[in-house]
């Protein structure tokens, strides 16, 4: 029996583990060294399942479409600049164009696939509609775990309390054991965590079990926190649902995940696509809106060609504990812990023979966006280092091709930024050396460089157009404030994206270079969670981040204006936002500006027009912790 401690007895000193958590049942989660070949097995050869055959066809279609579009565009570019054909710089420029156009094309084709799935469905997809309401077996014990580290306790506990109340309302909290797994180093934060945990236990006494564990040594960050839980208590549970510090999940969503896992014994991980919501800053509201209109097409499109070999986002997902402990231990990579663990764990789970699914139509899974651009970039710096590190595992023996591709695309998501800058820089050099005379190809071939830029921009815009069209065709515009509000919101979000994209590109370039310097110089990346609470960015903070890049761009523009003014046309789409980076960052962080747009019914998302109960309660508890 657990000891019920009074909040008044709490202190910054950690409570004994016996008072806060169930008795341990030790288990092993030993990682296998990287680079070792898969052990030979005598498993029978099983004919590919229908979904696997469908996935192969869809991946071929994705590759074929991407290659054809890239080959056509690259041919047009080559024939548009015959005067530069003898230049080695020209061929480097062509190679960069082909690589980057293929990157854009693959994203566009994925969005088109998602548009089709959104309207017509997918018979091979993992769907919430297949769960039914069958009772869950008593031995399907599930742990609901939330790893935290120096977080705002009131916000964290608000989301966890709302999630537990939603489970309790469905009568299913008794099927879950809830664990608050703390890595917090601040004694005052730990004391607050313990008080909040005691209040949660009192709130749900007789309905469910709420546990708390503090780790004195924070090894391997979040992945180490989860692995520590698995070694201590993993053998007690068939499944675990991993939450992030800002996660909120409904009881129906959690029960659907358990039922899907029970119905599919070969599934190792099922990821519920989290919907972003919760902040009122202009930046966060634009990102939330984009995720609900355009982002869902990319999510559905990825599910379309990944199917049972999807990726794992690290939270708001259910995991089969036994194979996770056996196969997903993470050995150090070149002496460093694996920083971005989720893609790697999905790849290892699939290598072990279990499937990884993304359930894109499962409602009731929520998270928060970073409140402003600086917080987003702080998060991206961590992700950049982790994804570049994961690229070393592309040749790891036994991984399935689709997960090798996911490791590559994860790295490319950040490496593309310096490649774009290099492409633009080389284009400016070639322009100054005669490339500006080659817009119209000889013999009237067709479209030339301007046409290619137009086509590239069209491929970037098409997912937004399809996202709006999907909303209209499904009759969901009322959830976004109506048709006029939907169209106006799309224009606002697109304008925000145009202004912020060069800032992200410049920042990601710095991150990539910094990650390479850290690798070769032996420096250590600070892995610190970004702020989750909304706060206006000051002019000083924005200037500290973007004044230097803005000054450098201004100097470059002055130099180009003196040498060849027409070159400024080539770099203007990137240069202007960088020159205005400080005011863009400051104004997009303003809560009042985001609130005014909300009052004008712009950038609305369905959770704001009709908020689910679990979200309303989470927001209420976050604003009034004593409620």
The model's pLDDT over 12-32, given as tens digits with 9 standing for 90+, comes to 455 666 677 888 889 999 898
Specify the pLDDT at position 193.
94
Residue 291 per-residue DSSP state: I
Specify the pLDDT at position 299.
93
- The 10s digit of each residue's pLDDT in 210-253 is 999 999 888 888 999 999 999 999 999 999 999 999 999 999 99
Of the chain, the percentage scoring pLDDT greater than 90 comes to: 60
- The 10s digit of each residue's pLDDT in 271-286 is 998 999 878 899 999 9
Q: What is the mean pLDDT of residues 189-217?
A: 91
Specify the pLDDT at position 508.
92
Q: If residue 267 lies in a helix (H) or strand (E), which one and from where to where?
A: strand 267-272
Lowest mean pLDDT across 244-258, 311-325, 435-449: 435-449
3-state secondary structure of 241: strand
Specify the pLDDT at position 9.
39
- The 10s digit of each residue's pLDDT in 495-542 is 999 999 999 999 999 999 988 877 655 545 555 555 556 678 889 999
Specify the pLDDT at position 626.
55
Burial class (CB in 10 A: 0-12, 13-18, 19+), 538: exposed
Looking at the domain assignment, is residue 547 inside a domain?
A: no
Could you tell me the two tokens for 409?
């695309």
Is the predicted pLDDT of residue 87 greater than 80, yes or no? no
- The 10s digit of each residue's pLDDT in 38-68 is 765 544 555 678 999 999 999 999 999 999 9
- The 10s digit of each residue's pLDDT in 531-554 is 556 678 889 999 988 888 888 888
pLDDT confidence band for 356 (50 / 70 / 90): very high
Is the predicted pLDDT of residue 624 greater than 80, yes or no? no
Domain count, the chain: 1
Cα–Cα distance measured from residue 260 to residue 201, given in angstroms and rounded to the nearest whole number: 29
Q: For tokens 């990650």, what's the residue? A: 515
Cα–Cα distance measured from residue 468 to residue 292, given in angstroms and rounded to the nearest whole number: 10
Using only C-alpha atoms, the chain has a radius of gyration, in whole angstroms, of 25
CB 448, CB 441: distance < 8 Å: yes
Residue 340, Cα to own-chain centre: how many angstroms? 11
Looking at the domain assignment, is residue 32 inside a domain?
A: no
Looking at the domain assignment, is residue 274 inside a domain?
A: yes
Is the predicted pLDDT of residue 437 greater than 60, yes or no? no
Is the predicted pLDDT of residue 454 greater than 90, yes or no? no
Measured CA angle at 519 (ends 516, 520), to 5 deg: 90
> CA nearest 554: which of 584, 578, 585, 573?
578
- Give residues with Cβ within 8 angstroms of 439, minimum separation 6: 80, 448, 449, 450
- The 10s digit of each residue's pLDDT in 606-617 is 998 888 999 999
Looking at the domain assignment, is residue 222 inside a domain?
A: no
Specify the pLDDT at position 574.
82
Specify the pLDDT at position 15.
62
Looking at the domain assignment, is residue 474 inside a domain?
A: yes
- The 10s digit of each residue's pLDDT in 549-572 is 888 888 888 887 887 777 777 778
Specify the pLDDT at position 43.
47
Full domain range(s) for residue 349: 62-144+240-536+589-627
Specify the pLDDT at position 446.
47
Specify the pLDDT at position 260.
94
Whole-model pTM: value is 0.88
Looking at the domain assignment, is residue 158 inside a domain?
A: no
Looking at the domain assignment, is residue 171 inside a domain?
A: no
Specify the pLDDT at position 444.
43
Specify the pLDDT at position 376.
92
Cα–Cα distance measured from residue 573 to residue 421, given in angstroms and rounded to the nearest whole number: 12
Cα–Cα distance measured from residue 234 to residue 250, given in angstroms and rounded to the nearest whole number: 23
- The 10s digit of each residue's pLDDT in 105-161 is 999 999 999 999 999 999 999 988 766 667 888 888 999 999 999 999 999 999 999
CB atoms within 10 A of CB 170: 14
Measured CA to CA in angstroms, residue 551 lies from 396, 514, 556 at distances of 43, 20, 9
What is the overall mean pLDDT for the chain? Answer: 86
- Give residues with Cβ within 8 angstroms of 302, minimum separation 6: 110, 114, 310, 311, 358
């Amino acid at each position: 029996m657990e000891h019920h401690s009074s909040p008044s007895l709490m202190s910054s000193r950690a409570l004994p583990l016996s008072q806060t958590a169930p008795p341990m049942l030790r288990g092993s989660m030993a990682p296998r060294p990287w680079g070792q070949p898969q052990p030979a097995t005598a498993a029978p050869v099983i004919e590919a399942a229908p979904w696997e055959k469908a996935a192969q066809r869809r991946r071929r279609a994705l590759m074929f479409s991407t290659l054809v579009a890239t080959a056509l565009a690259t041919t047009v570019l080559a024939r548009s600049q015959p005067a530069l054909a003898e230049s080695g710089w020209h061929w480097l420029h062509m190679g960069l164009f082909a690589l980057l156009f293929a990157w854009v094309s693959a994203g566009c084709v994925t969005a088109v696939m998602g548009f089709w799935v959104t309207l017509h469905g997918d018979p091979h997809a993992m769907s919430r509609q297949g769960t039914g309401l069958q009772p869950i077996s008593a031995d399907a014990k599930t742990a609901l775990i939330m790893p935290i580290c120096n977080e705002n306790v009131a916000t964290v506990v608000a989301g966890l309390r709302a999630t537990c109340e939603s489970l309790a309302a469905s009568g299913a909290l008794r099927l879950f054991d809830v664990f608050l797994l703390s890595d917090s180093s601040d004694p005052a934060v730990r004391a607050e965590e313990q008080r909040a945990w005691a209040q949660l236990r009192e709130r749900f006494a007789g309905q469910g079990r709420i546990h708390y564990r503090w780790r004195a040594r924070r090894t391997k960050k979040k992945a180490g926190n989860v692995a520590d839980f698995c070694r201590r208590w993993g053998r007690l549970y068939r499944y675990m649902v991993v939450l992030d510090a800002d996660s909120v999940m409904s009881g129906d969503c959690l029960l659907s995940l358990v039922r899907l896992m029970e119905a599919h014994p070969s599934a190792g991980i099922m990821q519920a696509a989290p919907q972003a919501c919760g902040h009122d800053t202009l930046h966060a509201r634009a990102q939330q809106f984009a995720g609900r209109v355009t982002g869902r097409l990319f999510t559905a499109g990825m599910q379309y060609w990944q199917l049972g070999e999807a990726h794992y986002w690290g939270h708001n997902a259910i995991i089969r504990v036994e194979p996770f402990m056996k196969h997903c231990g993470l050995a150090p990579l070149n002496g460093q812990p694996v920083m971005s663990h989720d893609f790697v764990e999905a790849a290892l789970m699939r290598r072990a023979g279990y499937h990884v699914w993304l359930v894109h139509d499962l409602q009731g899974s929520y998270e928060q966006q970073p409140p402003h651009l600086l917080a987003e970039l702080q998060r991206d710096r961590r992700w950049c280092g982790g994804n570049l590190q994961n690229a070393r595992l592309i040749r790891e023996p036994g991984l399935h091709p689709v997960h090798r591709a996911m490791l590559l695309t994860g790295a490319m998501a950040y490496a593309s930024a310096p490649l774009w800058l290099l492409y633009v820089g080389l284009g400016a050099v070639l322009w100054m050396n005669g490339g500006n005379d080659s817009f119209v190809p000889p013999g009237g071939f067709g479209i030339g460089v301007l046409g290619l830029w137009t086509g590239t921009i069209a491929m970037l815009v098409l997912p937004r157009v399809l996202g709006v069209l999907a909303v209209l065709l499904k009759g969901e515009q009322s959830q976004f404030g109506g048709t006029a509000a939907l169209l106006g919101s799309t224009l606002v979000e697109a304008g925000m994206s145009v202004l912020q994209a060069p800032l992200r590109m410049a920042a990601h370039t710095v991150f990539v270079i910094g990650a390479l310097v850290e690798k070769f110089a032996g420096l250590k990346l600070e892995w610190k969670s970004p702020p989750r609470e909304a706060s206006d960015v000051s002019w000083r903070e924005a200037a500290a981040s973007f004044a230097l890049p803005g000054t450098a761009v201004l100097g470059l523009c002055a130099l180009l204006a003196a040498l060849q003014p027409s070159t400024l046309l080539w770099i203007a789409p990137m240069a202007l936002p960088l020159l205005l980076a400080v005011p863009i960052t400051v104004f997009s962080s303003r809560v009042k500006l985001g609130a005014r747009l909300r009052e004008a019914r712009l950038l609305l998302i369905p959770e704001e027009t009709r908020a689910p109960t679990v979200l309303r309660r989470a927001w209420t508890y976050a604003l009034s912790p004593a409620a």
